[in-house]
Structure 1
Amino acid sequence: MLMNLFSIFDPQVIFFYQINWFSTLIILFIIPQIYWILSSRIIYLINKFYSMLWFEFKIILKNNFNNYNLIYLITLFMYIMMNNFMGLFPYIFTSSSHLIFSMTFSLSLWLSLMMFSLSKNMIFMLAHLVPQGTPFMLMFFMVLIEFLSNLIRPLTLCIRLTANMIAGHLLLVLLSSFIPVMFSFYQFILIFQLILLILEVGVSLIQAYVFVILVTLYLKETN
């Protein structure tokens, strides 16, 4: 039962080895290219969404960083959100439910921020290890705690995204497995699955937003 349950997250198939990892790029083939050339309601909706994210991240960063940081953060948000959303469709591999997907972004971003802060602003980074107003007797203990919390940041980033995506998919698979057993109550199971699927759409959006917001806060601390 456990092997069949978790087989939906298996990145291997029978004929081609890990060919379903190409689902991370499937959104590029779904969106018609004419939408990027001609003006339409979809383009208007996407632009409004981009402008909302732009002002949201700009408020957090204020004037500490240039616009290239905002462009990268919006691109990262859209990429993670689209991968989370496409994983809700049947027979599409959910790449964001694997640690290798989220760890690629979290570890690379964390290492780049640490290298930047150590090379450009080491004193400011070390000052963050001791919060303001900490008693002298607790300073050494707080340095250890802050140092450990800084080390586990990439791990918490990737586990938060992966665990939330796995949990929703497992609930959907578990509910679908009860339909043959409780066929007389399949209407109620289908209604509950639809409600859970709507919840998963919100989770796919929220988890991408949380991931990028935390990266933005880590980016702000390095300045």
Structure 2
Amino acid sequence: MMTNLFSVFDPSTNIFNLSLNWISTFIGISMIPYSFWMLPNRFYIIWYSILNKLHLEFKILLGKNSFNGTTFIFISLFTFILFNNFLGLFPYIFTSTSHLILTLSLSLPIWLTFMLYGWINNTQHMFSHLIPQGTPNILMPFMVLIETISNIIRPGTLAVRLTANMIAGHLLMTLLGNTGSNMPNYLVFLLIFIQILLLILESAVAVIQSYVITILSTLYSSEVN
């Protein structure tokens, strides 16, 4: 039962024995209207205002010691995750962000880069993060162990958070959709209404999760300066 239940997330589309499901990851990039970046229209104004708000917020979180252009890394990450989350809501499109192989590929290199930069250039500052201010002497070894473990599992928590949230909503919609054929006609309309509400909720989750992942990555990078 569990294998059949989660089989909706398995890559299944192939031509000449070549898996083409991961191509959906790059569909979002092709859908970005480049002409709207140059023409002053409503779409450009809305999208530019969103990116500008993100840029200002990330700049505050990163602090004054951050390099110029660092915020664009996180804005690109936000845009990439957002488009892939939304594409997963369309029928017959592979949800790439529901797989750990993609989410870990995004979070692990970013975290590893921050750690290498911090420990090489700001070693004393990184050691100071292992022991919070005001910690009693007897608790310092335990705090170092706890902070080290919490720091190591950060990329895993980022990846699992995004994957679990995308799987949970899609799985619930799949379960409700599979029960529609066995329901009476008068309950089908109620099921459709519930599915529409879930779709709206999933759209909000797609935005929120991309924002949460980006904000947490920004906070983690601000600790190394």
Please identify, of 2-11 and 185-194, the stretch whose mean Cα deviation from structure 2 is larger.
2-11
The more displaced of 138-147 and 9-18 is 9-18
Structure 1 runs (4+) deviating above 4 angstroms are none
Secondary structure of the residue aligned to 1:67 is: coil
Q: CA deviation at 1:217?
A: 0.7
Match of 1:206 among 189, 205, 208: 208
Q: Give the CA deviation at 1:14.
A: 4.3
The 1:94–1:136 alpha-carbon spacing in structure 2 relative to 1, beyond 3 Å, is same
Could you say what the CA RMSD is over the residues aligned between the two structures, in angstroms? 1.3
> Paired residue for 1:147?
148
Residues 4 and 14 of structure 1, relative CA distance in 2, 3 Å threshold:
farther
Matched, 1:70 2:71: yes
Q: Deviations over 1:3-57 (max 9, x none)?
A: 3322221124243422110111112333444323322111111111111111111
CA distance in 2, matches of 1:12, 1:69: 38
Q: Aligned pair 1:107/2:112, yes or no?
A: no
Moved more, 21-30 or 188-197: 21-30
User: Does structure 1 conserve the Cα–Cα contact (< 8 Å) formed by 2:14 and 2:21?
Assistant: no
- TM-score between the two structures when normalised by the length of structure 2: 0.95
Deviations 1:38-95 (A, max 9, x none): 2211111111111111111112123121231101111111101111111000011000
Moved more, 6-15 or 135-144: 6-15
TM-score (norm: length of structure 1): 0.95
Provide the residue aligned with 1:175 in structure 2: 176
Residue 195 of structure 2 is matched in structure 1 by 193
* Structure 1 counterpart of 2:10: 10
CA contact 2:29–2:80 (8 Å) conserved in 1 = no
Alpha-carbon distance in 2 for matches of 1:64, 1:196: 42
Corresponding letter in the other structure for 1:6 = F
SS at match of 2:84: helix
Q: For residue 128 of structure 2, what is the aligned residue in structure 1? A: 127
Equivalent pair of 2:104/2:155 in contact (CA under 8 Å): yes
- The aligned amino acid for 1:9 is F
The CA deviation at 1:105 is 1.2
Say whether the 8 Å CA contact 2:103–2:159 is kept in structure 1: yes
Give unpaired runs (5+ residues) of structure 2: none
